[in-house]
Structures are given as C-alpha cells and as structure tokens.
A = this chain, B = another copy of it.
Amino acid sequence: MIVVMDRNYTSNDVERVVSYIKEKNLEVTISKGKDSCIIGILGNTSTLDLQELYRIKSVKDIKKIKEPFKKSNRLFHPEDTIININGNKIGGGNLGIIAGPCAVENEEQIVEIAKKVKLSGANFLRGGAFKPRTSPYSFQGLELDGLKLMQIAKQETGLSIVSELMSISYLDEFIELVDVIQIGARNMQNYDLLKQVGKTGKPIILKRGLSSTIEEWLLSAEHIMAGGNENVILCERGIRTFETYTRNTLDLSAIPVVKKYSHLPVIVDPSHGTGSSEYVESMSMAATVAGCDGLMIEVHNNPAQALSDGQQSVTPEQFDEIMKKINLLQQVKCNFR
C-alpha cells in the first residue's frame, strides 16, 4: 500500500503518517521527490484504518498495490535507480556495457579481450569463473583462479569485474574480488543465495530465469532488496519457448514492462538471448533503442576455440562494429514518460 502526500506536505505530516504505520508494526519506506512524497507500507496492511490515515494532513491518496513486489516497485520509488560502480553508472539513461568471454580460460585470453573491449567502449569485463553447466561432465570453470585472472585484467585495463556466483560458500571471495556479482538464470529462485547477497552492499546483476515471468523476476529482486541491498540490476537473457531457430526467445518487450513497473535498471544479454553471434548486432541495437540500461555481450578472441558457448560469442572486431552503432543510436533511444 502507498500513501501519496500532496505537494504542500511538510515533514511533520510525513512523520505523523510514519508513526501511525509503525504503531501497527508495519515497515515504512519514504521517497521524497520534488513536489511529492510517497510513503510505502510493507507487510500485512489489513490492520490499517484507512479513514484515520486519510485524516492526517496532506494525505492525498492511498493506493493498494496490485503487484506483489514492493521495494522494486516504481510506485514506491518513482525515480529511476542509478547504480554507480567505480564511476560507471547504470540506469536512468546511463548505458553500462559489459563484455567478455563466457568463461575465463587463461591470463592471456582474458587480458587480451579486456584490452580490446575497453578500446571499443566497454566499461565492465564479464567472465565466468564458476560455470553452471547442465552436464556435470562439462568444463566447470577455473573457479577462484578465474577470479584472480580477472583481477589481473582489471589492473591492466581499469574495467570493473562482473562474475557469476553459484554458491554461498564463495561469497567472501566474490565480495573481495568482483565489482558486480551476477546471479544466473538457473539460480534466479535460489532464495538462499538471494538472501545472502541481499546482506552485502555489492551491486547484483539478477538474470531472468529461463521461464520466469516478469513478476517472479521482480519478486526475486525483492528477496535481495528485502535484506537491505537495493543495488539490483535486472538482466533479460531470453526465455524458453517452442522456437528452435534461436536458443532462447529474447523478450525485448520486457524492457518497457520493467520500466513501467520498476525503478531498477534493466540490461539485456543478446548473446544468451539468441544463442547465435550473428543475431547479436541486431538485438543489441534493438535493445538500446527500446530503452535498456546496458548490454552484456559475450566477446571471445577466438570463438571457434572457446571452451564454452563459442557459437554465441562475437569477435572483438564485431564487438567494435556493434559499439559504433550503439553510440549512434543512443541519441534517439526511447524515453519513457
């Protein structure tokens, strides 16, 4: 439930609302904008007496929230969330460009790719150290050594590091070694993991589950935010459908839908979304004008030899071409509202 104050509200009015709500043992969030103040009420609101609330000065409107997610709901937080990672902003029109190989393979590989994607305009380096693989017999990643190689690449290029965390056992190492923790699609509803990263202050990229609705995705963000960590970046990466010419079906309409319902940044991964490097350029361009806040693109210096997901990785040269087009498009990208 949210309480909308009218434009002449005073902090005294807000305080009266807040104390009334707290009396009922409910949690409160306050968002002050230029001419308005929105007070969110979390928890079981059935014990509230709306008439009493309406009697408080400056209370203009009280709205039930249909959506079950709250902290991630734009109603509670009308302004776009902008996440600043070492000076690189994601959200509110600021595009974060995350590029790198599916899996870190060795120092030479990760450093070379890092240098090249930086030159083309990336501000984040992605790389898998712990790989969630459908088969236990596939390459599972270099694990902690992979993270250390990414650190070297960071020192050489200044790029911030993004890598996927699969187990709470390695949380401390991730807090130390990466700048953004990625939660993969398969773990989108691993609530134990979400809860643990929710206790940290690290920015989290939360990938959409293969067959998760947007509502479930925002509720998973809520699991993280409920722990106090509001630095959540949503990442659309394709959903499972019956179509077989693409690995997944990239749901670009998720961009305007998320923008409508949530204030969180939403980025797009066209590499997993389509599963094929030849569709990455058109989908990156489409995502940009559709209003996303960033792109996550798999880049490999030698896709044919990649230890995983080679067919969906673009070369540094192709990535450079894509970035040139993205830069042109940013001037005409879709504005919401």
Contacts and interface: CB of A to CB of B under 8 A. Distances in A.
Nearest to A189: B186
A245 B214 contact: yes
Contacts of A273: 253
B249 A134 contact: no
Interface stretch (A10-18, A117-125, A281-289, A299-307): A281-289
Contacts of A252: 250, 252, 283, 286
5 contacts: A42-B137, A245-B261, A252-B286, A253-B283, A286-B289
Given A166-B190, A239-B249, A243-B251, 5 more contacts: A166-B191, A250-B251, A250-B252, A252-B286, A253-B283
Contacts of A191: 132-133, 136, 166, 186
Contacts of A223: 136
A201 interface: no
A101 to B, nearest CB: 20
A238 to B, nearest CB: 8
A192 B167 contact: yes
Interface in A133-156: 133-137
